[in-house]
Amino acid sequence: MEEIRIFKDMTQLAEYAVLKWAEISRAEVKTKGYFSVALSGGRTPGAFYKKLAGQKDFPWGQTHVFMVDERFVPYDSEENNYHMINMALLRHLDIPPKNIHPILTTETTAETSAERYEKDIISYCKSVRTNQPRFDLILLGIGEDGHTASLFPGAPTLKETGRLAVAVHSQDQSKRERITLTFPVINNAQHVYFMAEGAGKAAIIKEVVEVKNQRLPAVMVSPYEGKLVFLLDHSAASLIPGKMIQT
């Protein structure tokens, strides 16, 4: 199931995403007692996280928060996703600390950091009595090269089928070493929401939603049973043919 929604600006997009979060989290807490979500870094979700931080009556006590990916940099670094998400969102909310699952970069290598994160996910799965992580919601961004999470075009990590989280190395130093969730986890989610903003993303959004170029990691996001939703601002959606748009 796939849906594309276009918004006038990021304020409206963020308002809609907050409503969906409310709907999904309340429904999941009602049926199974908790709600689990994995969040991305990047610039795009900033306005959304700030708006979400003001929603004090959501079921935060039953919410489990995971990270989609992380750069292997110290927590204090501006490039650390957990730092950004903590500052914009988590520290404003009453989420029990044990429900917050950062990808810790205090390990000596990105590999050991990924292994530690995987163990954390596995013990969370045991605590909620599931064999495989099945996040209720995963929030993703898209890079201009079609990457999503820290899954980059052509990388060996795209073929990963066994591990839940892996280390990512790149020749390009500016990309940093990273740790990322893998496709088996992302595609097992109940709801996957992409967010994209700005004219710089228009060409890649066309490749992803219309051309569906299968080599692009963002196209490889295809939930097994869950729902896939694209939340786009007008500029990011400007090259998508009108007939494809459902709002």
Q: How far is the CB of 243 from ligand 6PG (least distance, A)?
A: 27
CB nearer to ligand 6PG: give 180 or 188. 180
- Count residues contacting ligand 6PG (CB under 6 A)? 14
The answer to whether the CB of 178 falls within 8 A of the CB of 70 is yes
Which residues 6+ apart lie within 8 Å of 151 measured at CB? 157, 158, 168, 180, 182, 183, 217, 220
**Nearest residue relative to ligand 6PG (C-beta):** 141
User: According to CB under 6 A, which one of 4, 41, 202, 207 is a site residue for ligand 6PG?
Assistant: 41
User: CB of 223: closest distance to ligand 6PG in angstroms?
Assistant: 17
Using CA atoms, how far apart are residues 110 and 165, in angstroms rounded to an integer? 11
* 90 in contact with ligand 6PG (CB under 6 A): no
28 or 48: CB nearest ligand 6PG:
48
Q: How far is the CB of 2 from ligand 6PG (least distance, A)?
A: 19
- Only segment of 2-10, 27-35, 38-46, 115-123 that touches ligand 6PG (CB under 6 A): 38-46
Q: Does 102 bind ligand 6PG (CB under 6 A)?
A: no
Task: Give yes or no for a contact between 44 and 72, defined as CB atoms under 8 angstroms apart.
Answer: no
Instruction: Mark residues 135-164: x for contact with ligand 6PG by CB under 6 A, - for none.
Output: ------xxx---xxxx--------------
Applying CB under 6 A, the residues found at the interface with ligand 6PG are 40-44, 69, 81, 141-143, 147-150
